[in-house]
Structure 1
Amino acid sequence: MALQAIKTFRTRELSAVLKTLQLSETAPTVPNPFLPRLNPESGRWAPAKYSLRQQADLIKQAKVSNTLHLLPPGPKLPPTALQKVPRPESLDAEPWSQNVVWEGEVKEKKKVSGPENGIRMYAGRKKMFKGHKWERTLEKRVTKRKWLMRGMKARILRFKTTYKRRRPSPLGPARVTGKQPKLPY
C-alpha cells in the first residue's frame, strides 16, 4: 500500500518525462510539486501542488516502504535529510523510480534555541505577543523595585528622623506664633 502511494505520486509527477527518460541517459529536470512556483507570464506565485499535510503523509508512506529517496525535497523533507537516506538498488529497474533532478530551492529553517530549554511559545521570536499589561510591564517594575530597595534603609531612617522633627513634643511648651493658624476650610 505504501509503495503503491509512492509509485502513484512518481508516475503522476513524471508522466510527461517518463517517455524521454528511457531515451536519454541524463537525469531530466522536473518542477518540484512540494514548493510554490513563480509563474513567468503573470509574475504571481502559485502554491505548492501538494499541501503540507499531503507531503507529510507521503513521507510517512515512503519511510514505511523504504523509498524516501524517491521523493523531492520540500518543507517537510529538507535536502539534508534526503542526503542521509540510503538508496536501495532493488527499484532501479522500474521506469517510475529513475533518477530525476527536482527544480526549485528549498530554504531550510534555522535551528532556534528555546524548545530544548523549555521556552516554546516565544522561541525564535523577536518580541512577545501582546499579552496582559501586567506581563508587558513586569520587567520594568521589577527593575525599578530592585533599584528602590537598594537604598531603602537610608530612606526609612531619613523618613523617621524627619517625622520626629515635625511632630511637636507633648511635654514641651506650646509653640506660639505671631499669627493664628488658619482653619483648613
Structure 2
Amino acid sequence: MSAALQAVKQFRVRELAPVLKAQPTASTARPKILNPFLPHKNPESGRWAPAKYSLRRQADLVKQARASGMLHLLPPGPKLSPKDLAAASASTPISASTPTSDAMAPAAESSKSWWLSEVEWEGEFKEKEVKGADVGNRLYAGRKRMFKGHKWERTLEKRTWERKMLMKDMAARIERFRTTYRRKTPSPVSPARPVSYSKLPF
C-alpha cells in the first residue's frame, strides 16, 4: 500500500472507528459523521467549534487522495469543493474503490475494507462565489481601478520623463557650468576681491 493510500485509510479509520464502535449496526448502513473539514455549532451552548483538520492538513489529504485515486472518500471542504467531489465519484470505477491484494482472501478482504463504506457527512459546505474565478481573474474582478501600489511605482513614469529631459542636454549644461566657474575663479596674481559663486544649475 502506497503512502498516499495509507494516509487516506488512516483518516477514514480515525473518523469511522468511534462511530462504528458505538453503533455496531452502522457498518451495514450509511453512518452519519460530523464533517471534520467544517466548523460546527454546539446546539447546547450555541458556540462554534473550529474544524478538526486545519487547512494545511486538508490540502495534504486532498493531494494524497488525488494521487491514490481515493478522492471520493474525503468529505467536502474548503480545499475540496462538492463539484470536484462529485466529479471524482463519477469518474472512479467501482473496482477502484476496493483495492485488492493477491495475498488477501475475499472473506478477509471484506472484513478489513470496512473503512471504504459509504458515509453521510453532516454539515453543509457553502462554496463562496468569487467574481472572475471563471475567467481566471479574481484579483481585479469587480474593481473600478487597480490597487494604488507603492509610491515609487506611481511616480515612476514622471520621474523617468524628468530624468530623460535632464539628460538630454547634460553635456552642454556641464560645459556651461565649467566655463562659468572657470571665468569666475580669481586669478592668483590679481588683488583679492569677493567672488559670488553661482549654484549648480542641476
Which TM-score band applies after superposition, normalised by the shorter structure? 0.5 to 0.7
- 2:85 and 2:34 mapped to 1: Cα distance? 17
What is the total number of aligned residue pairs between the two structures?
133
Task: Name the SS of the counterpart of 1:30 in structure 2.
Answer: strand
Report sequence identity in percent: 59
The question of whether the paired residues in 2 share the 8 Å contact of 1:22 and 1:95 is answered with no
Match of 2:186 in 1: none
1:148-159 alignment runs, 5 A limit = none
TM, length-normalised to structure 1: 0.61
Displacement of 1:25 in angstroms is 3.2
How does 1:30-179 map onto structure 2 within 5 Å?
A: 30-85=33-88, 86-90=91-95, 91-92=97-98, 93=110, 94-113=113-132, 116=135, 120-124=138-142
Shift of 1:108: 1.1
Instruction: Specify the code of the residue in structure 2 equivalent to 1:101.
Output: E
Q: Distance in 2 between matches of 1:87 and 1:98?
A: 15
- Residue 9 (structure 2) aligns with: 7
User: Cα RMSD between the aligned structures?
Assistant: 2.9
Quick check: 1:6–1:61 contact (8 Å CA) kept in 2?
yes
SS in 2 for 1:57: helix
Quote the offset at 1:87 in angstroms.
3.1
Kept in 2: contact 1:114–1:124 (CA 8 A): no
Structure 1 residue 22, shift from structure 2 partner: 5.4
CA distance in 2, matches of 1:108, 1:59: 17
Q: Report deviation, 1:88.
A: 3.6
Q: CA deviation at 1:24?
A: 5.2
Deviation, 1:75, is 0.9
Answer yes or no: is 1:16 the counterpart of 2:56. no
Q: What TM-score, normalized by structure 2, do the two folds share?
A: 0.56
Q: Could you tell me whether the CA contact under 8 Å between 1:37 and 1:48 is conserved in 2? A: yes
Q: Aligned equivalents of 2:34 and 2:143: distance in 1?
A: 33
* Shift in Å, 1:53: 1.0
* Structure 2, unpaired ranges of 5+: 99-109, 152-202
Structure 1 residue runs of 5 or longer lacking an equivalent are 134-185
CA distance in 2, matches of 1:71, 1:114: 24
**Counterpart-to-counterpart distance in 2, 1:125 and 1:38:** 35
